Structure formats: structure tokens, C-alpha cells
Amino acid sequence: MSRVSEKHPLLKGVLLPVLLAAVVLGAAAIAGCASTTAGGAAKAGDTVNVTYTGYLDNGQIFDSNVGKAPLTFKLGEGSMIKGFDQGITGMNAGETKNLTIPAELGYAYHPELVQDMERIGGLEEMNLTPGDIIRFTRPDGSPGSVKVVKVNQSWVTIDENHPLAGQTLHFTVTLDQIIRI
């Protein structure tokens, strides 16, 4: 740049500061593309941070992140149960809301996931009782678990439904932050 400014003093005095200002403003504009918004309701495609406590009809807390890192997810992506996603949509940053999520929008119960299995292949050696949880690795490498429902000498009845399947879920949720890109 010094060679150019020697030949054209105008570049050194006028154009160089203008170019630097354009670079700085451009970087600020790019940084501003990912912004935390206090205004505007959360909508599909927004990334949100939420603090929540989940509890059952009887008041028993089953999960909470209060005092921990917020839960971060993208609305409408399908990573959360449908009722939770729907409950957050339309909230504003800083808002707290109570959600009641019926099983069909949370963890629906699927009777086909309750099966009788013959006690072979290691099951006959296990001292199983109803209520036990058996953890395993699926063929694709993902973790799985089943709950033992009934046991006899030859068979075991297992349930692969989510532990909260069939229950109405309640959440107190605070939308901490909306991140828009």
C-alpha cells in the first residue's frame, strides 16, 4: 500500500480511511447478522435458550435445568417433543409460561413397543424383576433401554416406550434468549 500512496497521495489521505471504515462497518454488519433479539416473538427457525422445570400431574419434578446451562434448540426442527416446541413458539425473550402437554404431543404410548421375549441369549442368566431397566446398544450404535414389565421362567415382557409415555407433562418455561441469524 505504501507504493500506491506514494504515487497517489490522495489514496493515503482520503481513500485509505474510507476503505478502512468500509471494512470495519462490513465486519460489524456481518457480526450483527447473528443477533440476540429482545423484540419479536419466537418462531420456527429461531434458535432459543430456555430454562425449564418439568413435572407430572402429581407435582413430581422429572427434569429441570434451573441453576444450570439453558437448553438451546432450534424451533421447528423436531429435536424437541411437539408440545414443547409449540409452547415456546410465540413467546418473547424474558417471558415465563406454564405449558400443559398431553401425551399425544409429548411421549405417546405405543402398545406395539411392549413385547414378550423368550429368555434366551443372556436373558435366562439375568436375575430380572419387574421395573428393571435393561440398557443395550442398537445395531446402528445408538443406545437403547427397555423396562421389564413381567418375568417368568421362560419369558420376559419388556416395554420400549419412553418412561414418560402416556403421561400429561407440565413445564414452567422461561424463554431466556432468541438468537436469529
**pLDDT, tens only, 82-114:** 999 999 999 999 999 999 999 999 999 999 999
Mean pLDDT value across the chain: 83
Name the segment(s) of the chain with CATH classification 3.10.50.40: 35-104+165-180
What is the pLDDT, as a whole number, of residue 95? 97
Per cent of the chain over pLDDT 90 is: 70
The CATH number given to 35-104+165-180 is: 3.10.50.40
Model-level pTM?
Answer: 0.71
Q: Which of 25-34, 70-79, 121-130 shows the lowest mean pLDDT across its residues?
A: 25-34
Q: Is the pLDDT of residue 27 over 50?
A: no
What is the pLDDT, as a whole number, of residue 10? 36
Q: Is the pLDDT of residue 29 over 80?
A: no
Name the segment(s) of the chain with CATH classification 2.40.10.330: 111-159
CA–CA separation, 48 vs 13, rounded Å?
A: 46
pLDDT band at residue 22 using 50, 70 and 90 as cut-offs: very low
**pLDDT, tens only, 65-88:** 999 999 999 999 999 999 999 999
Q: Is the pLDDT of residue 3 over 50?
A: no
Look at the domain 111-159 and name its fold: Thrombin, subunit H (2.40.10)
pLDDT band at residue 123 using 50, 70 and 90 as cut-offs: confident
Residue 152 CA: distances (Å) to CA of 44, 55, 82, 167? 49, 34, 38, 28
What is the pLDDT, as a whole number, of residue 124? 80
What is the pLDDT, as a whole number, of residue 20? 34
* 115 or 12, higher pLDDT: 115
CA–CA separation, 102 vs 84, rounded Å?
A: 10
CA–CA separation, 134 vs 158, rounded Å?
A: 9
